[in-house]
């Protein structure tokens, strides 16, 4: 994985996820998207320079259809 690849951290508004975002940034990752279901004002920490988004990933449709069974 390149340090220019997009990294998405779910649960980023919590203690562990928030620290993971900071460590990734400190290690040189430039495209970090932090996501949590909680409103931003309830996040444990927000890291400057990171794309912070509120969202529930359980509401997303699968990105790809399941593989077909071979006959």
User: In the chain, what are the domain boundaries?
Assistant: 8-56
Confidence of residue 13 (pLDDT cuts 50, 70, 90): very high
Collect all residues with Cβ–Cβ distance below 8 Å to 1 and sequence separation of at least 6: 7
52 within 8 A of 12, measured Cβ to Cβ: yes
Q: 22-46 pLDDT, tens per residue?
A: 999 999 999 999 999 999 999 999 9
Residue with the bigger pLDDT between 45 and 62: it is 45
Comparing CA positions, the residue from 2, 1, 35 lying closest to residue 18 is 35
Give the Cα separation of 5 and 27 in Å (integer): 13
Helices (H), the chain: 15-26
Residue with tokens 């928030």: 18
């Amino acid at each position: 994985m390149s340090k220019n690849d997009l990294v998405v951290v779910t649960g980023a508004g919590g203690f562990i996820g928030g620290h993971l975002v900071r460590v990734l940034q400190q290690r040189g990752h430039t495209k970090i998207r932090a996501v949590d279901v909680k409103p931003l004002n309830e996040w444990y920490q927000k890291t400057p320079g990171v794309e912070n988004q509120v969202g529930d990933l359980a509401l997303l449709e699968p990105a790809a259809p399941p593989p077909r069974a071979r006959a």
